[in-house]
Every structure is written in structure tokens, then in C-alpha cells.
Amino acid sequence: MKTKMNTTEKMFAERVNHVPQSFIREILKVASNPAITSFAGGLPNPAFFPVKELEQCATQVFQQQGMQALQYTATEGYYPLREFISHRYRQRYGIDIPPEQILITNGSQQALDLIGKIFINPGDQVLMERPTYLGALQCLSMFQPKFQEVTLNADDVDDLEEQLWSNAIKLFYCIPNFQNPTGIRYSAEVREQAMQVLNRYNTIVVEDDPYGDIFFDEEELMPLYSYAPEKTILLGSFSKSIAPGLRLGWMVASEEIIRKATIMKQASDLHSGNLTQHILYRFLTAYSLDAHIKKIQDTYRFQRDTMMSCLKQYFPSTIEYTHPQGGMFAWVTLPEEITARELLDKAIEQNIIFVPGDAFYASDPDTQTLRLNYSNVEEAVMRKAMNTLGGMVAGLVEV
């Protein structure tokens, strides 16, 4: 009697082999242990989730719009919510973005997936910041591009010009506001210079902006989108300002791109959750979003300051670190004698976790870097864990 061998492994699509496993998702499994102090996840502080307010909004939606909110809806998203986003761009930046150029997505992560489906053929060249958001690397890898990397700093954009001149770059993915993982923010000068350079090339700019609301010490800066709306895709999210469990974000782009993205989204999930869109819109119109964000800013600023003082007080002077003006992350470069993975192994023994920096590079990872999240760790816990971590670094340097 003949039997067929189990050939499931051979039947998987080729793209599966090109998507790296998320180190963050794996390490967050460890973070579920209450004894662990986690600097690993990009988690907003749950103390600011508007639980009671959203509960009241949900009750009102069920009482007044229950049948409508529980029905299928347009793929583009709940129109009043898109109008709110449009109005907010006009209010904050003076940018006129019609609701028709806004697509509601399941977090900005889905927007990245839609962009990959629209634009990337296998072998197309995609330019990423060095380092960059791990979730973007994971998502875009599915479409088998050839990644290039660029380093942007406060002084010049020469490396960007070189990359665009040397390679046929189809997409440039960037996080200008308090970048994940480094916490760096593009200056107004770099924004203008970068877009002047990009306007000379046939490259689509993907501007991911999940942290733009969470700024501490500086005035708001204009989005890259404002310099070249016809070739820029701007992504936003309610995950950091309201709650990630809502899974609601958006994409801003030209009508042509939104039309293509809508078709891709129809094929993917028909539409984002109609009920959650109604509840969120009710919250946004019943309460002050700016007042809510101000509370987050004040607390995250204090937590940032606590982490900065810990890095200065408890760590050897041979480390380097960013001083973020917003967002949720600090980026640390260790002395040459130590790798971040080596430090992580010892930290886990003391119930402390973080994300080694090598996970954030498309190629040639820097093994001396690591990302620390400060938004979801209380002061006393942070100081104790950072003291321990700094002692580990000092001990490894001396070995």
C-alpha cells in the first residue's frame, strides 16, 4: 500500500521564507511573567487608556446606533471618523486633506501591508532608515524587495542623495518623529532638505507617524507629506494616543493610491471594525483629545527624564545614548567589549528584558546597540532595574 509523505513544508509559498520572525513578539512572551521588568515592548502606559470613557461611548453607540454600528460598512472607513482626522490635520498643520484621501486601517501596520501589495514586486529596491522599525522590516519582507539602508542625522542628507543616485529606489520608508527604535526626530532643516532631494527622484515616500502626538520639549514640525503630498504616503495611528487594542490607524495618500489600497483592503478584510470606529469617533467628539494627549506627554516626559538620569548615574561613561524629545524609546550603544545579546542573557537571569538592536537592521546589524522603552515602566521599578543593568554593563567591561 502506497502512502504519501507529509510534504506540507514544501507546499508553503516562497514568500513565507522571506519573513523574519519578530524578536519583539517572542520576547514579550517572557514579559508576561509579572516578576519581569520589561523595557522591551513598545507598549503605551495602560494608566492612560480611557477605559471608563470608552465604556460610556460604547453604551451610547449601542443605544443610539447599535444596528448601524454592527452592520458591514464601507471599506474606506466610517466617514465621520475620516472627517475628524481631516479636520485635525487642518487644525494642527494647516494641511487640507479631504476625507476621500484617508483610508481607515487596522493599525498603521495594515497600511504597510497594503503599501507592499500595491508597490513592491520581488527585487524592487526599498530604502529603510538604519536602524528602522522591526515591524516594517517584517511586513515588507513578505514582498521580497531588496533593502537598502540610509543614515539620516541632524547635519546633512548626503547619504540619502547617494542612495537615491546609486539605486533605483521605489519606496523610502521613514519615521521622522521620535523614530522607533532610536527616538530621533528629524529637524525642520533635514525635513526640507530630504524632501528637496527626494523630489528629484521617482521614489514614493512612506512617512510613518505613530508617535507625532507625543512630543516633550519642542514645537510640532510639519510632516514630510506637506512638502510633496503627491508622492508621500502618511500613516497615523490611535494606538499610542488612545489604545492599541482598538487596532485603528489610517493612511493618507493621493486619490489614486487610496483607490488601489481600498481594493487591496477589500480583498483582505472588507473593512476595519465598524463598531470600534463608531465608539472611537464618539470618544473623539465627546472628549478633548488634546487634553488627553497632554496627560500622556507629561508622564512620558517624566519617565524619559528618569531613564536619562539612570543612564547617566548607573551606567559607565563609555556608553552612548540618545536623548529623545518625544515618543517612547531610548537607544543605547554599548562599549565595544560587549554585545547586546550577551547583556540580555545576563539581564534575563535578573528578570530584566530589553530588545537587542541587531533586530532593527536590514543588513550588517550593529551588535552593540539596544532599545529601551520608558513609557511602560514606573519610576521606582525603572530605577532599580536600570541600576542592576548598569552594574552588569560595568562588570562586563571589566572582564
Query: pLDDT digits over 154-168, tens only?
Result: 567 889 999 999 999
Residue 3 covered by a domain: no
Residue 6 covered by a domain: no
Residue 8 covered by a domain: no
Secondary structure of residue 184 in the 3-state scheme = coil
Lowest mean pLDDT among 3-17, 104-118, 205-219: 3-17
Nearest CA among 96, 353, 107, 383 for reference residue 240: 107
What's residue 35's pLDDT?
A: 86
Taking residues 362-386, what's their average pLDDT?
96
15-42 pLDDT per residue, tens = 887 777 766 666 666 666 788 999 998 8
Backbone angles phi and psi of 350, in degrees to 5: -105, 20
pLDDT at 153 over 60: yes
Residue 81 covered by a domain: yes
Q: Which residues pair with 207 in a beta bridge?
A: 174, 234
Nearest CA among 300, 315, 324, 301 for reference residue 383: 315
Taking residues 56-81, what's their average pLDDT?
97
pLDDT at 91 over 60: yes
Residues 302, 252: one domain? no
Residues 66, 44: one domain? no
Instruction: Give the integer Cα–Cα distance in Å for 165 and 167.
Output: 6
Residues 93, 199: one domain? yes
What's residue 28's pLDDT?
A: 66
Q: What is the DSSP string of 267-300?
A: HHHSSS-HHHHHHHHHHHHHS-HHHHHHHHHHHH
Residue 186 covered by a domain: yes
Residues 27, 152: one domain? no
Residue-range definition of the domain harbouring residue 316: 13-49+291-398
Residue 100 covered by a domain: yes
Residues 133, 94: one domain? yes
Residues 57, 199: one domain? yes
Residues 58, 200: one domain? yes
Residues 271, 358: one domain? no
Taking residues 42-71, what's their average pLDDT?
96
CATH number for 176? 3.40.640.10
The total number of structural domains in the chain stands at 2
CATH number for 384? 3.90.1150.10
List C-alpha distances in Å: 79 to 98, 99, 144, 204: 11, 7, 34, 26
Residues 94, 235: one domain? yes
Q: Which residues pair with 372 in a beta bridge?
A: 330
Q: Which domain-ending residue is among 252, 286, 320?
A: 286
pLDDT at 3 over 60: no
274-313 pLDDT per residue, tens = 999 999 999 999 999 999 999 999 999 999 999 999 999 9
Instruction: Give the integer Cα–Cα distance in Å for 180 and 131.
Output: 8
pLDDT at 336 over 80: yes
Secondary structure of residue 352 in the 3-state scheme = strand
Residue 1 covered by a domain: no
Residues 75, 26: one domain? no
Helix axes 289-314 and 379-398, enclosed angle (nearest 10): 30
Residue 299 covered by a domain: yes
Residues 212, 150: one domain? yes
Residues 155, 20: one domain? no
Sign of the Cα pseudo-torsion (285, 287, 289, 290, in order): positive
Q: Which domain-ending residue is among 286, 314, 335?
A: 286
Q: Please identify which residue in the block is written with the cell numbers 524592487.
A: 124
Q: Which domain-ending residue is among 286, 304, 329?
A: 286
